[in-house]
Amino acid sequence: MREIETLAALDAALEDGGTLRGLRLQDLDLGTRADRLLGRADVEGMVVLGGRLPPSLGDHLRAHGALVFPTDPRVPVSPYRARVYSADELYDGLRELGYSATPDARAYTWSRDTALHHDAFATLLRAIHDDSVSDALTDLLGDAPVVGVMGGHALRRDEPAFARAAALGHALARSGLVVATGGGPGAMEAANLGALARTSTDLADALERLRQVPGFDDVRRWAAAALEVRHDLLAGGEAGLRSVGVPTWFYGHEPPNVFCDGIAKYFSNAIREDGLLARSSAGVVVLEGAAGTVQEVFQAATRMYYGPPDAALPPLVLVGREHWSRTVPVWPALEALADGRAMAGRVHLVDDVVDAVPLLTG
């Protein structure tokens, strides 16, 4: 099997003299290649995953043993996509038409409608979409060392903790780690912003500008301000892969932040949380948060608890001694779980993000 995810790769396959049997064509517009494909009969076992193709080409491929998987034109996003999302893609139309008209908002509305009506075909499309996104995220990250940064979505841009989370993301990215967050607002946005900023001066300027729209109660203003800041941060050219966001439409009230180099957005929250933690090969740092963040803490801890005794466990670092010991007393439970196990030396509680960085980069 060979995955074909671009028209350039398809052109190469058509020209190399080999067979087309068994190829996987993923989310391609085949209209401009229809004549060449209509001239080929060696397509048995070819799988066409979504995309666009003339009816005559679909008939021809099926007649010669190919499988053509359908999509639904009412779905706001492609279920068979071969790449993670970009901020511009999810927020397309934001300035002209408002947030409700963007693909991001429309995808959430579609997912809620189909879930309520128990549409089996929509369930299938959501599952295919999430598997495709997982594959694309794996391709994007490759073997890069990834550190997960977890934290609450309610943190406002004008709070001191937002600047501290941004400083954490900046320090981790400068050390060579790829920062992975839940891709939403609050602490997640801050960490992705910090990773994107090339210098501390750029970061300070970005923070000051974002303070003017501190919350996402008006998503249009919140996202538009961030898109402008992102545009200026990237004005000097791309700096390589520094951070990713892994959000979900399950939390439809949390818009995705725009400061990631790639956005792997899922319909299933369970799949995206497991995938985010599984990819955090260099460790996880947890900022102050509530129920969703607590869930992520114990998902990470469960992986460590049941890991092989001789496994090299990445660190789990909780930031905020008062918060995690008293406000949301997670730390005593972690200490009890770690007692006598290999994870005991890999679970940490610190007061400040400055203390967390050496534990993740040392």
- Please report the domains of the chain, with CATH numbers, ordered by start residue: 2-69 (no CATH), 87-135 (no CATH), 140-361 (3.40.50.450)
Query: What is the pLDDT averaged over residues 202-226?
Result: 98
pLDDT tens per residue, range 248-266: 999 999 999 999 999 999 9
- In this prediction, residue 4 carries a pLDDT of 95
- Checking 105-108 for CB contacts under 8 A at 24+ apart, the result is 105/219, 106/76, 107/75, 107/76, 107/77, 107/249, 107/265, 108/249, 108/252
Closest CA to 286 of 108, 165, 143, 196: 165
What is the Cα–Cα distance from 315 to 304, expressed in whole angstroms?
A: 9
- In this prediction, residue 226 carries a pLDDT of 98
- In this prediction, residue 307 carries a pLDDT of 83
Q: Provide the pLDDT confidence category of residue 237 given band limits of 50, 70 and 90.
A: confident
Q: Provide the pLDDT confidence category of residue 98 given band limits of 50, 70 and 90.
A: very high
Closest CA to 199 of 233, 235, 230: 233
- In this prediction, residue 311 carries a pLDDT of 80
- In this prediction, residue 74 carries a pLDDT of 86
The percentage of the chain sitting over the pLDDT mark of 90, rounded to a whole number, equals: 90
pLDDT tens per residue, range 328-356: 999 999 999 999 998 998 999 999 999 99
DSSP per-residue string spanning 163-196: HHHHHHHHHHHHTTPEEEE--SSTHHHHHHHHHH
- In this prediction, residue 147 carries a pLDDT of 98
Whether this prediction's pTM lies above 0.85 is answered by yes
How many Cβ atoms sit within 10 Å of the Cβ of residue 297?
22
- Predicted confidence (pLDDT) at residue 116 exceeds the cutoff of 80: no
DSSP per-residue string spanning 195-223: HH-SSHHHHHHHHHHHTTS--SSSHHHHH
- Predicted confidence (pLDDT) at residue 115 exceeds the cutoff of 70: no
Structure tokens at 154: 């309610």
**Across all residues in the chain, what is the average pLDDT?**
95
Helix (H, G, I), strand (E, B) or coil at 45: coil
Closest CA to 189 of 243, 111, 139, 238: 243
pLDDT tens per residue, range 42-57: 999 999 999 999 999 9
pLDDT tens per residue, range 12-40: 999 998 999 999 999 999 999 999 999 99
What is the Cα–Cα distance from 18 to 2, expressed in whole angstroms?
A: 12
| Cβ(217)–Cβ(206) below 8 Å | no
Using CA atoms, how far residue 278 sits from 154, 162, 300, in Å, is 25, 26, 9
Looking at per-residue pLDDT, the higher value among 126 and 308 belongs to 126
Helix (H, G, I), strand (E, B) or coil at 3: strand
Q: Provide the pLDDT confidence category of residue 238 given band limits of 50, 70 and 90.
A: low
What is the Cα–Cα distance from 344 to 337, expressed in whole angstroms?
A: 8
- Predicted confidence (pLDDT) at residue 290 exceeds the cutoff of 80: yes
